[in-house]
Each structure stands twice: as structure tokens, then as C-alpha cells.
């Protein structure tokens, strides 16, 4: 999904990265239907706010929703379910492979989500296709168009963004939710319901797509552990494979989200240039099982990132604001990408390839998804760079330059990671 690719080589890179990027725009009162995938997911909340549910098997239902909209208003209308945290702009949510999740926009402006799905992740034992298993709805139209437009992006590199609710198109193939493939009688028996209701689960005549508008606003209040729930837990056996088997300890109480937008949390901050913030398994431990991490970058106008390479990960760069120039260089010194990019576009920097980003006149902001839970970067310029780590005589002999020039190469840029615009003008003729 390179913007304006120069050769088809770039698409190979993207394919090689083994990931998919999907953007959802959920309008007010919109519900992104519950689904799970064969891959872990990272979700960046680009805009808006909402609530988000992730259902982990065996975790207790410790949240309750009020029943104020129920028709009878009785006590029985109270409902218990798993926790439903608020999410808001600038947060990253991590979802392990196979966990069903849903999002609901309870704000006033659109909720925009950018999802990374890592099909090459060791957690995926299926093939390299990304597969979405919807638990409800009738995803035939949207899911298909979503996948095909994703593939178009991948193989033709044409579009840089996908808005789910803009892509309702003609599609012949039948795609259904997972209940659609089960026998009605078996569903009725499994849920101990009548066949009319079992038929409803298949949503066969549902034309709403994968994001539906809630008839009434969803009400969720703060959590409390009910006595009934506590008592129920006693019944379960604690044996292996049962309810208390490690998954629960790991996931039921695990934090799934982290704010990556807060300037106070930046790992590198340069008042003249911008900032860089990382969420990895050290500050969001669930990422250890997901084996992904995220970097958030903000460059002020004309500032730049140190040229660098990703040592142990691919980097999938989604531009969230502004414009800039990205160059990516391969192992033969070939430039595999060189272009102006802007908000909503995606560029992949494969592992080991050298990358540089330079902000345009409006500044430049992005989120980079990385295919390692503790992704490492090696910088080429600046105070913690590879060049700085080489003896001056190695630099001089390598480049056939004088020791004075070698010292300039090593020492002229004292900043780390985030570089201010060259003090001496565009050409930097100060040395």
C-alpha cells in the first residue's frame, strides 16, 4: 500500500511484511459488530471516542449495563458482561489472536480506527490470508469489498485509505457470520432457544453491513463485581484447560490500551524538532503475547528523523497528519521508495532497509506499527548513531575522507532521533 510507487518491487515489500491495514470510520451510535480474526490486532484510535469490548474466554462478567431503556423497567433488565473500557483519540488497543472484539461510538464526532492485522505473526497458524470471523450481522457486502479494496491497495498501490462506511458496493459472493454455517436445529439446541431466534442469529436478510447503527444508545456504567458472579466462580474446576488456567491470570486483568499521543510520555522530545513515543512490551505487557509494538512520531515543519534502519521488525507507517517526504533504501543502495506522503497514507519500511523522514511545511505526524514487541532501531546520524560508534579512522578509511571530515560526520549532529531543521539553511553548508 505504498503511495505512488515507483516500481512493483514496493508491493512485494508490503506483501513480504505480511500485514494488513484497515481503517474504520464509525459514526455516532455506530457499532462495529463483534468479530475475531486469525491474527493479533493493534488498533490506533485516530479520532473520536467510544467504548470497546474484548471478550476473553473464562474471564468474569464484572461490568453491568443499566436497563433504563428496557421496556419493562424491571430489575431483571440488569445485564452483566465483560469489561467495556472507554477509548479515545491517541490510544492504542492491543488484541490477541482469536479474541472477539467490538467498538461503539458513544461520542458526538466520528470514531476513526486504524487497525493493523499481522498475518505473519507466530500466533497465526493458518495461511497468510487475514480472516475475519463475524459473530453477527451479514457481512457479505462490506467484508468482501473491504478485502478486495485491501488487495487492490496491496497490489496496485492506488489508495491510501479505506473508509468502511463508504464502501457499500455490489458483491455477489455470500459471506455470512459464523452462525450462518451451523444447522438451525443445532444452534437452537446449543443456546436452548427456539428455532425462530436461532434463525435470527444468522442475520440473513440484514443489509446493514459490518458497522450498524444502534437503535438506542448503549448504556454502560462503571464496573462492580456482583455477588452472584463471585459465587458462580466457586463452581468451576481450577484444572488445566479450565477456567483458571493462565489465560485468565494473563488476560482478564491485563491492560489492553495505552495513550501514545501524550507529549509527556515521549521517549525523545526536542523542542526545536518534535517528539517520538513508543509503546512496546515494556510499557504495555500484553504486547509480549501480541509480538507487535507502535511508535508515534510528531515532526515540526521542516524537521527530520535521523536516517535509521529497523533491526528486528518491519515498520508499517500510517501518516496521521501533515505531509512529508520519505526515502527508503535497500541492500544494494537502491531507492525503493522516494515520495511525498500525506495524511491517510501507508508506507512500509521492511526490516533492515534504511529510512529517512522529513517533514513538509505543515509538519508531519504518523503512527508506525512494528512487527516485534520490542522493536529496535539503529540510527545512522546523530549522537547515538552507528557512525558515532565507529572509530574516526574507520570512518576516514571507509569513505576515503580526511580525519577532519570523519570527525564532522561523527559529531556535527548532536541531536538524537528527532533533528531540527539545519541551522545553516537547506544545504547545511556549515562544516
Q: Restricting to residues 241-280, name those near a copy of itself by CB under 8 A.
A: 241-243, 245-247, 265-269, 276-280
Task: Decide: is 90 part of the binding site for a copy of itself (CB under 8 A).
Answer: no
The residue (of 161 and 308) whose beta carbon lies closer to a copy of itself is: 308
Which positions from 385 through 414 interact with a copy of itself, judged by CB under 8 A? 385-401, 403, 405, 407-410, 412-413
Of residues 94 and 304, the one with the C-beta less far from a copy of itself? 304
Give the integer Cα–Cα distance in Å for 257 and 44.
Answer: 10
Nearer to a copy of itself, 90 or 344 (CB): 90
| The binder of a copy of itself chosen from 112, 295, 366, 367 (CB under 8 A) | 295
Is residue 54 within 8 Å of residue 124, measured between CB atoms? no
Question: Which of 61/343 has CB closer to a copy of itself?
Answer: 61
DSSP 250: I
Residue closer to a copy of itself by CB (options 13, 23) is 13
Which CB atom, from 159 or from 247, has the smaller least distance to a copy of itself? 247
Q: Is the CB of 158 or the CB of 428 nearer to a copy of itself?
A: 428
Return d(Cα 334, Cα 384) in angstroms, integer. Answer: 25
In which element (H, E) is residue 155 found? helix 140-156
Least CB distance to a copy of itself at residue 295 (A): 7
First to last CA, the chain: 39
Least CB distance from residue 87 to a copy of itself, whole Å? 15
Find the binding residues for a copy of itself in span 324-383 (CB under 8 A).
325, 327, 329-336, 338, 350-352, 354, 356, 358, 371, 374-383
Rounded-to-integer distance, Cα 185 and Cα 200, Å: 13
SS3 (DSSP) at 153: helix
Query: Shortest gap between Cβ of 325 and a copy of itself (angstroms)?
Result: 8
For 43, the grid coordinates are 488498533
Count of C-beta atoms within a 10 Å radius of residue 361: 10
Beta carbon of residue 6, minimum distance to a copy of itself (angstroms, whole number): 12
Using the rule CB under 8 A, which residue among 47, 225, 312, 362 binds a copy of itself? 312
- The count of C-alpha atoms lying within 13 angstroms of the C-alpha of 81, restricted to the half-sphere facing its C-beta, is 17
CA 21/CA 345 separation, integer angstroms: 10
Distances (CA, A) of 420 to 260, 274, 303, 359, 387: 22, 8, 5, 10, 19
Give the three-class secondary structure for 242.
Answer: coil
Q: Which residues of 273-297 are buried (b: 16+ CB within 10 A; e: fewer)?
A: bbbbbbbbbeebebbebbbbbbbbb
91 neighbors 47 (Cβ within 8 angstroms): no
Min separation Cβ 342 and a copy of itself, Å: 18
| Residue selected from 28, 88, 152, 176 as contacting a copy of itself according to rule CB under 8 A | 176
Cβ distance to a copy of itself smaller for residue 25 or 52: 52
| C-alpha to C-alpha distance for 330 and 353, rounded to whole angstroms | 5
By CB under 8 A, which span of 3-11, 106-114, 129-137, 341-349 interacts with a copy of itself? 129-137
**Between residues 114 and 198, which has the closer beta carbon with respect to a copy of itself?**
198
Bridge partners (DSSP) listed for residue 349: 315
Pick the binder of a copy of itself from 6, 27, 169, 174 (CB under 8 A).
174
Residue from 50, 307, 322, 344 in contact with a copy of itself (CB under 8 A)? 307
Per CB under 8 A, contacts with a copy of itself among 59-78 are 59, 61, 63, 65, 69-71, 76-77
Q: How far is the CB of 329 from a copy of itself (least distance, A)?
A: 3
| DSSP structural state of residue 359 | E
Q: Measure the CA–CA gap between 360 and 224, rounded to whole angstroms.
A: 49
Which of the residues 208 through 247 are near a copy of itself (CB under 8 A)? 208, 212, 214-216, 218-220, 232, 236-237, 239-243, 245-247
Amino acid at each position: 500500500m505504498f503511495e505512488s510507487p515507483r516500481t512493483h518491487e514496493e508491493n512485494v515489500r508490503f506483501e513480504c511484511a505480511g500485514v494488513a491495514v484497515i481503517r474504520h470510520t464509525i459514526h455516532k451510535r455506530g457499532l462495529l459488530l463483534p468479530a475475531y480474526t486469525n491474527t493479533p490486532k493493534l488498533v490506533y484510535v485516530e479520532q473520536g471516542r467510544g467504548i470497546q469490548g474484548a471478550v476473553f474466554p473464562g474471564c468474569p462478567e464484572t461490568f453491568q449495563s443499566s436497563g433504563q431503556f428496557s421496556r419493562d423497567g424491571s430489575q431483571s433488565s440488569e445485564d452483566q458482561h465483560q469489561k467495556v473500557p472507554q477509548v479515545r483519540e491517541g490510544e492504542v488497543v492491543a488484541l490477541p489472536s482469536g479474541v472477539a472484539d467490538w467498538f461503539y461510538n458513544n461520542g458526538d464526532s466520528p470514531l476513526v480506527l486504524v487497525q493493523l492485522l499481522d498475518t505473519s505473526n507466530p500466533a497465526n497458524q493458518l495461511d497468510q490470508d487475514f480472516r475475519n470471523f463475524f459473530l453477527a450481522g451479514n457481512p457479505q457486502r462490506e467484508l468482501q469489498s473491504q478485502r478486495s479494496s485491501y488487495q487492490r491497495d496491496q497490489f496496485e498501490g492506488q489508495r491510501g485509505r479505506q473508509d468502511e462506511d463508504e464502501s457499500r458496493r455490489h458483491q455477489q459472493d455470500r459471506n455470512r457470520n459464523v452462525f450462518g454455517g451451523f444447522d438451525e436445529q443445532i444452534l437452537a439446541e446449543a443456546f436452548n432457544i427456539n428455532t425462530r431466534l436461532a434463525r435470527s442469529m444468522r442475520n440473513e436478510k440484514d443489509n446493514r453491513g459490518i458497522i450498524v447503527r444502534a437503535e438506542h444508545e448503549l448504556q454502560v456504567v462503571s464496573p462492580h463485581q456482583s455477588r452472584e458472579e463471585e459465587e458462580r466462580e466457586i463452581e468451576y474446576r481450577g484444572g488445566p484447560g479450565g477456567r483458571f488456567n493462565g489465560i485468565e491470570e494473563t488476560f482478564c486483568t491485563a491492560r489492553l490500551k495505552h495513550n501514545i499521543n501524550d507529549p509527556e510520555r515521549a521517549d525523545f522530545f526536542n523542542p526545536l524538532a518534535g517528539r517520538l513515543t513508543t509503546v512496546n512490551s515494556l510499557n504495555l505487557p500484553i504486547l509480549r503475547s501480541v509480538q507487535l509494538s507502535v511508535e508515534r512520531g510528531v515532526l515540526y515543519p521542516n524537521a527530520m528523523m535521523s536516517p535509521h534502519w529497523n533491526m528486528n521488525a518491519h515498520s508499517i507507517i500510517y501518516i496521521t497528519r501533515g505531509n512529508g517526504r520519505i526515502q527508503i533504501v535497500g541492500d544494494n543502495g537502491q531507492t525503493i521508495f522516494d515520495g511525498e506522503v500525506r495524511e491517510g497514507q501507508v508506507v512500509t519500511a521492511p526490516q533492515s532497509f534504511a529510512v529517512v523522514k522529513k517533514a513538509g511545511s505543515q509538519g508531519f505526524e504518523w503512527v508506525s506499527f512494528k512487527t516485534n514487541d520490542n522493536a529496535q532501531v539503529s540510527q545512522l546520524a546523530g549522537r547515538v548513531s552507528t557512525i558515532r560508534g565507529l572509530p574516526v579512522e574507520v570512518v576516514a578509511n571507509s569513505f576515503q575522507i580526511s580525519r577532519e571530515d570523519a570527525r564532522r560526520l561523527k559529531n556535527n549532529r548532536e541531536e538524537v532521533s528527532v533533528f531540527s531543521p539545519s541551522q545553516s539553511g537547506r544545504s547545511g553548508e556549515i562544516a
